[in-house]
Amino acid sequence: MFRTMQSLPSALAFPIILGAGILGQKLAAKLWNQVFDEDPPDTSQEDVRLVPLLGAAVIEGTMYKLLRMLADRALRQGVLKLSGTWPGPTGAGE
């Protein structure tokens, strides 16, 4: 059981990453729309300026990373509750 519980985060990593990417993209678009009252710029647009494009990429990347970290942390805490063992390296917990 120990080995199975240790590999659980790895087995669920792809769906978590995919879900975080999709959700992060949607949340970033919603945030951009709220702030600028327009859809975020798209690389396929001919007349898009670089600065708004980079800003949209930063927001989307930040949302993706935040959601991925939260999902990974919740999954690891779930494994800890089920198995009593932390799935990954342990540290000082600063």
Over residues 19-73, the pLDDT tens digits come to 888 898 899 999 999 999 999 998 898 999 999 999 999 999 999 889 888 888 8
What b/e string do you get for 1-34 counting C-beta neighbours within 10 Å, with b at 16 or more? eeeebeebbeebeeebeeebeeebeebbbebbee
Angle between helices 2-36 and 50-83 (to 10 degrees): 150
Q: pTM surpassing 0.95?
A: no
